[in-house]
Amino acid sequence: MAVNLKQLAVEFEDPNKIGITSGHRLCPGCAAPMTAKMALMVAKHLGYDVVVGLATGCLEVSTTIFPYSAWSVPYIHNAFENVAATISGVETAYRALKKRGKLKREKPIKFIAFGGDGGTYDIGLQALSGAVERGHDFLYILYDNEGYMNTGNQRSGSTPPGSYTTTAPVGKKLPGKPQLKKNIVEIVAAHENVYAATATVGEPIDYMNKVEKALNFEGPSFIAVLSPCVRFWRIPNDAAVSITKLAVQSKYWPLYEVEKGVYRITKKPRSFKPIRDFLEQQGRFRALLSRPDADKVISMLQDYVDKRWERLLALEEATKDKPAR
Amino acid sequence: MVETKKLALTGAEAVANAMRQIAPDVVAAYPITPQTPIVEYFSKFVADGLVDTELIPVESEHSAMSAVVGAAAAGARAMTATSANGLALMHEIVYIAASLRLPIVMPVVNRALSGPINIHCDHSDTMAERDSGWVQFFVENAQEAYDLTLIGLKLAEHPDVQLPVMVNQDGFIISHGVEPVELLPDDMVRSFVGEREPVYSLLDVENPVTFGPLDLYDYYFEHKRQQIAAMEKVFEVFPKVVEEFEKISGRRYACVEAYRLDDAEHVMVALGSTCGTIKDVVDELREEGKKVGLLKLWMFRPFPKEQVQRYLYGRKSVVVLDRSASFGAEAPLYAEIKSALYESPTKPLIGSYIYGLGGREILPRHIRQAFEAAINGDLLADGQGYLGLRE
Amino acid sequence: MADLKKWHELPIGGVIDKPATALAYKTGSWRVMRPIWHEDKCTSCMMCWLHCPDNSIVVKGGKMTGIDYEYCKGCGVCASVCPVKAIDMEPETKFLEEAE
Ligand SMILES: Cc1ncc(C[n+]2csc(CCOP(=O)(O)OP(=O)(O)O)c2C)c(N)n1
Ligand code: SF4
Ligand code: SF4
Ligand code: SF4
Ligand SMILES: [Mg+2]
């Protein structure tokens, strides 16, 4: 498709056609609705109808406070940890009813599950792995805000080291969460016949191209979208987009995809910014940055992102033209 | 009525055949002893092309129930089956299935809920779900397991009900015991269960609905009241469904079964396979001139209070057998029966016995012992008796 | 809670049986800062439209035509992503005074 914004703007002149509507109660400037709307527009633009599944979390609670639904597409929320299993049931029902001639429709339906990082890296990981392993035809979009935000900013397996959370606070003794983020894309990519990618709202064209690829991929697909929480990242309401551009430029959030084991870096910045720049822009790292051992944590992180980037380059080279199947 | 086949089947096989004949659009299941043979038989039916259901071989029971909820919300007829720890793992979604008003039918093969881990029969697994909003049936044998699976489906999907249904059969005793079972012809089952007509469907893309919103203090209570009303409706719909079933099968069901109750002075109340043993003991005692009888509950949720009252009012004594405990409180069935007797014009003597936990054998002599206590006036309303326990 | 529906008047299962009912909930009242669009500078690049988390950038025929203040929460994302600075953020209080 190669996303054409003008064309999309004509197509979705009536914003209620997008799928997620106004009137939701996410914080001003939250990136979660951006993540959702971009994906939905691509799907519809490609000629698909869409059914969405949501894991419990900010995007879910703030868009469906009874009797107010901010969705103009069919929607199901089941629980926190099971959106992948739930959507696998919906997708299977679709195949079953079509096969039996009980569902007569030409236009194909695509199934998109949205989960937060808590619902994906942590409590929902098993259901996600199961659904991907079984090979359901669905797209899982992780909106990664690096913490349990709906419940007030607790640590998740996605929270970066030193980011202030209420369950791994930076204290007098401890410098906050010591562990690095789980590498969720690698985890998903380790399944057979899967498309897995990173993306972010600050690079919308890259993201939307990946959504297109994912939807047209035969089998399960997964996109991890860095989606800032303005509230608990302690950034200004207008900063969700700019901070993610910095995340890409600082190698904090490299943009790449893995298609059947073949790695491809989709954006290679000409020059990089130090990780410190990314951290300094966010209030969630303020307590860390004011500690005497701040430099130790920062240089550990810098070293980590540098090495990861080198590894990605190497993987890209090594897997070129060598799909796993 | 037409020709039916009588086969030697286990309870698990009987239920797997009911599922084959229902031919749900989607089945998602995960194996656990003693439910495993149900999934195995059904998977074989699918593999052999005897049924074209889409099977989801999920990675856990939590996902089984989650997937079945998704499928049912998409308008499909969806089923699963489980036991004990599997049911407990589903617990959260068991509640959600009922609250979303999805008519899912789930055979449950009762097994003790850990721990320590134990694979044998008791009712602790299903009793933990008694307030989840599901209809709960208990069966005495494989035939009833088969029949109530079919009846349960039709009840669940009735427009006035729209509730999920659990059909409980005793682990190993019924699930693995071979008995003669009469299967209805496939096409007769098909026409009995008909097609599901969902109230809402996710696949009705032209009419998008939102399933599972955040429901706060201004509406949640109203939605719970609707679930209570749906349970009340079961008492109106169930008699119609069983009447229809009787027409095709010749087998009659109700909320409860009264066994030799007409002139009985001492009545035992129980659930499940033990009722078979109790019937034998009742026969023996009757021969000895004792006026005893059995009230078996096919339906535990909604609790058929009126029928229970109808059969228990005016008796000299009522003795209740529970195959599970409610630690620190009265056993589940006993608590219900005692409460149902609150308005009884004459108060019978009542007593409670817990038996059979973790598959402990229940023998005719244990049942006789309980009846004798009733006959001798040795029941204590607030006491707790045990059968088959080393005391 | 006088005008809220009674239990038997609601759809079953907690289902919201119509799409986009949240449109009845006007989030514009949350706004502290107001985006002001300068048509003369705007190139209709659609970046603000694409990012607006509240679908509040109004477009027609591929061109930006304004801002929907009924839902706009005043986050300022539109202003921050605009490559030509065609949107300014102004405090709402200013417009209160103007209205008076
Ligand atoms: C089984 C279960 N455990 C805990 C919770 C409480 N809970 C609800 S949302 C949430 C965090 C959500 O975090 P995430 O998935 O990252 O989404 P976010 O709110 O950050 O967008 C938690 C802990 C729950 N609803 N269910
Ligand atoms: S708390 Fe964070 S993630 Fe949740 S709505 Fe607000 S900004 Fe978005
Ligand atoms: S201020 Fe925020 S909500 Fe308002 S139009 Fe701009 S981006 Fe949209
Ligand atoms: S981002 Fe700026 S230039 Fe582009 S459409 Fe919006 S206001 Fe116009
Ligand atoms: Mg989160």
pLDDT digits (tens), chain A, 325 positions = 568 999 999 999 999 999 999 999 999 999 999 999 999 999 999 999 999 999 999 999 999 999 999 999 999 999 999 999 999 999 999 999 999 999 999 899 999 999 999 999 999 999 999 999 999 999 999 999 999 999 999 999 999 999 999 999 999 899 899 999 999 999 999 999 999 999 999 999 999 999 999 999 999 999 999 999 999 999 999 999 999 999 999 999 999 999 999 999 999 999 999 999 999 999 999 999 999 999 999 999 999 999 999 999 999 999 999 998 8
pLDDT at C96: 83
Which chains are within 8 Å of A by 3+ CB pairs?
B, C
C62 and chain A in contact, CB less than 8 A: yes
Q: Is C59 on the interface with A (CB under 8 A)?
A: yes
Is B264's pLDDT higher than 70? yes
Which residues, by Cβ under 5 Å, contact ligand 5, an ion? Answer: A 116-117, 145, 149
CB A29 within 8 A of CB C78: no
Q: Which ligand is nearest to the CA of C39?
A: 4
- Please tell me the total number of residues recorded for chain B in this structure: 391
The pick from A25, A27, A237 for probing ligand 2's pocket by mutation, whose C-beta has the most ligand atoms within 8 angstroms, reads A27
Chain B nearest-CA residue for C3: B218
How far apart are the CA of B172 and the centre of ligand 3, in A?
A: 63
Report the residue among C49, C52, C65 best suited for mutation to probe ligand 3: largest number of ligand atoms under 8 A from its CB: C52
> Each residue of B152-206: pLDDT tens digit?
999 999 999 999 999 999 999 999 999 999 999 999 999 999 999 999 999 999 9
State residue C100's pLDDT score.
59
Q: Distance between CA atoms of B377 and B374, rounded to whole angstroms?
A: 5
pLDDT of residue A200: 98
Å from CA of C37 to ligand 4 middle: 8
H-run or E-run covering A211: helix A204-216
The pLDDT mean for chain C works out to 95
Model pLDDT, residue A72:
98
Instruction: Indicate the burial class of A133 (C-beta count within 10 angstroms; 0-12, 13-18, 19 or more).
Output: middle
CB contact under 8 A, C10 and B218: no
Ligand that comes closest to the CA of residue A149: 1
| CA distance linking residue A203 with residue A213, whole number of Å | 16
Which residues of B fall within a CB distance of 8 Å from C1? 218
A29 to C62: CB separation less than 8 angstroms, yes or no: no
Convert the pLDDT of each residue in B271-313 to its tens digit: 999 999 999 999 999 999 999 999 999 999 999 999 999 999 9
What's the whole-number mean pLDDT along residues B112-125? 96
Cα(A36) to centroid of ligand 2, in Å? 14
Binding pocket residue ranges, ligand 4, CB within 6 Å: C 37, 42-48, 64, 81-82, 84, 86-87
Range 77-96 of C in CB contact (< 8 A) with A: 77, 79-81, 89
Element (H, E) at B138: strand B135-138
Q: Which residues contact B36 (CB under 8 A, 6 or more apart)?
A: B12
Q: Does C44 touch chain A (CB under 8 A)?
A: yes
- Give me the percent of chain B exceeding a pLDDT of 90: 98
Residues of C in contact with A66 (CB under 8 A): 14, 16
Are A237 and A230 a contacting pair, CB within 8 Å?
A: yes
**Which candidate from A7, A66, A238 shows the least CB-CB separation from C16?**
A66
CA atoms within a 13 Å half-sphere pointing along the CA-CB vector of A109: 26
For range B38-48, the mean pLDDT: 98
Which of A7, A20, A238 lies closest to C77 in CB terms?
Answer: A238
User: pLDDT tens digits, residue range B324-340?
Assistant: 999 999 999 999 999 99
pLDDT (tens, 9 = 90+) of chain C, 100 residues, equals 558 999 999 999 999 999 999 999 999 999 999 999 999 999 999 999 999 999 999 999 999 999 999 999 999 999 999 999 999 999 999 998 766 5
Which ligand 3 atom sits closest to the C-alpha of C68?
5
Of B71, B92, B215, the CB nearest to A92: B71
What string of DSSP letters covers A43-90?
Answer: HHHTT-EEEEEE-SSHHHHHHEETTEE-BSS-EEE--SS-HHHHHHHH
Neighbouring residues of B346: CB distance < 8 A, sequence distance ≥ 6: B313, B314
What is the rounded average pLDDT of the residues B351-364? Answer: 98
- Closest to A84 measured CA to CA, from A58, A123, A46, A49: A123
Question: Which pLDDT tens digit goes with each residue over C17-35?
Answer: 999 999 999 999 999 999 9
A88 touches chain B (CB under 8 A): yes
CA proximity to B248, closest of B182, B298, B197: B182
Q: Which of A161, A217, A159 is nearest to A188 (CA)?
A: A217
d(CA B83, CA B28): 14
B4 and B190 Cβ atoms separated by less than 8 Å:
no
**Domain limits of chain A?**
5-319
Which residues, other chains included, contact B224 with Cβ-Cβ below 8 Å and sequence gap of 6+?
Answer: none
For chain B, list the domains and their CATH numbers: 5-249 (3.40.50.970), 256-387 (3.40.50.920)
Task: Identify the pLDDT of residue B2.
Answer: 57
Q: Subunits that touch chain C (at least 3 Cβ pairs < 8 angstroms)?
A: A, B
User: Does residue A150's CB lie within 6 angstroms of at least one atom of ligand 1?
Assistant: yes
Domains and CATH numbers, chain C: 30-99 (3.30.70.20)
Residue C79 Cα: closest atom of ligand 3: 6
Cα–Cα distance, A229 to A147 (Å, whole number): 9
Return the pLDDT at A227: 98
> Is there a contact between B364 and B284 (Cβ–Cβ < 8 Å)?
yes
Q: CB–CB of A54/A86 below 8 Å?
A: no
Residue C76 C-alpha, separation from nearest chain B C-alpha, in angstroms: 28
CA distance B177 to chain C (A): 39
Distance CA B266, CA B243 (A): 30
| C3: chain A residues, CB-CB within 8 Å | none
Q: What ligand 3 atom has the least distance to the C-alpha of C77? A: 7
Residues 6+ apart with CB under 8 A from A32: A26, A58, A59, A143, A145, A227, A229, C53
Q: What pLDDT, on the 0 to 100 scale, is given for residue C2?
A: 59
Q: A89 and chain B: CB distance < 8 Å anywhere?
A: yes
Nearby residues of A58 by Cβ (< 8 Å), 6 or more positions away? A26, A30, A32, A116, A145, A149, A150, A229
Ligand 1 contacts CB of residue A118 (under 6 A): yes
Ligand nearest to the CA of A144: 5
Q: Answer whether A114 contacts ligand 1 (Cβ < 6 A).
A: no
CATH superfamily, region A5-319: Thiamin diphosphate (ThDP)-binding fold, Pyr/PP domains (3.40.50.970)
Question: Does residue A145 line the site of ligand 2, with CB under 6 A?
Answer: yes
CA-wise closest residue to A115 among B189, B21, B66, B38: B66
What tokens appear for A162 in the block?
A: 């030193």
Please report the pLDDT score of residue A3 as a whole number.
80
DSSP letter assigned to residue C16: B
Which protein residues touch ligand 3 with a CB less than 6 Å away?
A: C 35, 52, 54, 56-57, 67, 72-78
For residues A259 and A193, is the Cβ–Cβ distance under 8 A? no
Q: Quote the CA–CA distance of B111 and C10 in Å, as a whole number.
A: 38
Which residues have C-beta within 8 Å of that of residue B143, sequence separation ≥ 6?
B14, B179, B180, B181, B182, B251
Each residue's pLDDT tens digit, B129-164: 999 999 999 999 999 999 999 999 999 999 999 999
For chain C, what's the residue count? 100
Strands (E), B171-316: 178-183, 210-211, 256-259, 266-270, 292-297, 299-301
Is a pLDDT exceeding 80 seen at residue B3? no
Q: How close A172 comes to chain C (CA, Å)?
A: 34
Of the candidates C86, B352, B93, which has an alpha carbon nearest to the alpha carbon of residue A77?
Answer: B93
Distance CA A61, CA A41 (A): 22
Q: Whose CA is nearest to atom 4 of ligand 1?
A: A80
Chain A residues near residue C45 by CB distance under 8 angstroms: 5
Instruction: Kindly report the protein residue whose alpha carbon is nearest to atom 26 of ligand 1.
Output: A80
* Cβ within 8 Å of residue B191, ≥6 positions away: none
ipTM surpasses cut 0.95:
yes
A256 touches chain B (CB under 8 A): no
